[in-house]
Structures are given as structure tokens and as C-alpha cells.
Amino acid sequence: MRFYESCLFLNFAHFTANQSILEAFADSKRVHVIDFSLNQGLQWPALLQVLALRPCGPPAFRLSGISGQAKSDDGSDPLQEVGFKLAQFAESIGVEFEFCGFLAYTLADLEVSMLNIRPSNEEAVAVNSVFELQPLFSIPGAIEKVMDLIKQIEPKIVTITEREMNHNGSVFSSSINKAWHYYSTMFDFLEKSESINPNNLDTVMAKQCLDLMVSEIYNLVACQGTKRIMRHETLDQWQVRINSAGFNLVPLTSNAYKQAAMLLALVPNAEGYKVEVKDGSLMLSWNSLPLIATSAWRLCSQV
């Protein structure tokens, strides 16, 4: 939790996406969030808190969380544990809450019938994805299947955060050059981060981040075909891909930018970070290099 609070990547993604979801749910009495990237569920307490303060009262909140994490060695179910904690939190602030967890090795394994989608006049739906779509590129047809799934859901809003780099090109030398700039910046960020205290668990989390980046670099350099999972694309490429799937970009409002700017102001040692607006989306940069981009989308038929 300390590392989550001190590292802006997830915070930026969560706060920006939550603002778009909040605005899409403004007049809804029952809402349903389908989270492709549940993990520890850290994104949702903040949204629940804001919804609880609505002048007209909070909506009934349903969360469908997808995770690739199977049961722990001790037999516990991480998905249900996250759901239980969120349910306890929602009860403490007076929000009616319902949770259903789904274990999926890949998002392409999901079917719309699993999600129990209710009529749009009964329940507003949002789909949220943080760093979960890019891995689908290594599975033939997977990204198209997931985009078709989202179309069948007919959500009021789709929020997507992905890393801002192009490692999915056909020219090997170009991918390596772009990866060099991106990962050297990431190493530089971790090295200079004064928030990592060598006397606590931050070092453990930092080591896990380093290990993850090393494995990503190995995958970029040494793997090809379906074995190469690291195939990041830029926001411009995502716009073309998602537009062709039948979605239009929903420009993020000034409130989303203000939330992100406020987040930078609240985080210690945020020097070097910058929030930028690009084509209605928000980017988080470190020393002028874009790192991640968050965007919001709506079906063309709903615009």
C-alpha cells in the first residue's frame, strides 16, 4: 500500500479513470463496473467514497472483477478476499454493494453471458482496463474478441490505460531503440525516487518492479511470435484500433486534468513528472518522456 501511494503510475490511472466513470454515472441509480484489472481492488474505495457523497444519495454499486490470480497456496481465494473487503468498506459508508469475481487466464476467455448484464434502463455499465489489453496482442484474434465483448456489453463508458510506447513494430532495431529509451527512463525514475526507504518494505516492491522490467526487456529482445508478450502500442495506434472497433473517444474533462494535477501536488518527490493533454486523453510523463496514457471511449451508436 505504501508503494502504491508513493508510485504515481497506478494512482494516475485510477484517479483519471474514476473521474470519467463518475461523470458517466451522474444520473444513475444502479451502476455496474466491469474491471478487467481488479488485482487488490485499490481503485474502487475512492470512487465509492465520492458516490456516497452524492446529493441525491449513492447508487447501488455492482462490481465484476476479473483476475488471473488463482487460489493461494494456503487455499484462500484472493478474488473473494478483495470482494469481501470492498463489501465491508461499502457498508461502512452506506453504499449498497454487490461483487462477483471471475478467474480468467486471458480476457479472451470471457463471455458476455458470464457477466449478467442487465438492461441499460435498469443499470449503467462501465468497463475499466488498466494495462490489460496490450498482452492480448500475442494471442491471434484476442484483441478483436475482447473489443467485440465490450460492444455486446454496451457500456456507457470504457476507460483504458496503457503504456505509451511502440514495441509492436515489425522492425526489430526500431523496437529495441524505443525500448532502450523507455526502460532507461523507468530505471532512472526508480533510482532517483527518494520515496523508496531501504529500511522498509518499499525495497521489496521496488525489487519486484525491477524484476518485472528485466523480464519484459528479455521478452522484447529474445522472444518472437506468440512467445513475445511485450507488444505495447502508443495512444495514436490505440485510437485507430479502437475507432475501427466501433468506439469514439470521449475527451476527458477539465475535472480529470485537475484531479491528475492535484495528485501530482500531493505526492512527495513528484519533480520530473508532468501531466499532459493529448487529443482529449491524459498522459503521465517523466522527464519529458510519456510513460502511460489514459483515455475514455463510448460506442459510436451512443454518441
Tell me the Cα Rg of the chain.
19
Tell me the one-letter amino acid at 266: L
pLDDT interval class at 199 (50, 70, 90): low
Q: What are the tens digits of pLDDT across the range 169-181?
A: 667 777 788 788 8
Residue 194 has pLDDT above 60, yes or no: no
Q: Which of 76-80, 150-154, 166-170, 298-302 has the lowest mean pLDDT?
A: 166-170
Q: Give the contacts of 160 (CB within 8 A, at least 6 positions apart).
A: 129, 133, 238, 242, 294, 295, 296, 297
Spatial contact of 121 and 129, defined as CB atoms under 8 Å apart = no
**Mean of per-residue pLDDT scores for the chain:** 86
- Pairing label, strands 247-249, 60-67: unpaired
The pairing of strands 60-67 and 97-103 is parallel
Instruction: State the cell numbers at 212.
Output: 518485472
Give the three cell numbers for residue 65: 472483477
Lowest model confidence (mean pLDDT) among 51-55, 174-178, 232-236? 174-178
In contact, 142 and 110? CB cutoff 8 Å: no
pLDDT value at residue 71: 61
Quickly list H helices, the chain: 2-6, 8-24, 44-52, 78-92, 142-153, 172-192, 202-222, 235-244, 254-266
**Higher per-residue pLDDT: 117 or 203:** 117
- Judge whether residue 112 has pLDDT over 80: yes
pLDDT band at 75 (very low <50, low <70, confident <90, very high): low
For residue 185, give the nearest of 279, 285, 112 by alpha carbon.
Answer: 285
Q: What is residue 201's predicted lDDT score, i.e. its pLDDT?
A: 53
Q: Strand 289-299 to strand 157-163: parallel, antiparallel, or no bridges (unpaired)?
A: antiparallel
pTM of the model: 0.89
Cell numbers at 261, concatenated: 494535477
What are phi and psi for residue 157, nearest 5 degrees? -150, 145
CATH numbers and ranges of domains, the chain: 2-166+231-302 (3.40.50.150)
Residues 6+ apart with CB under 8 A from 231: 134, 137, 138, 167, 168
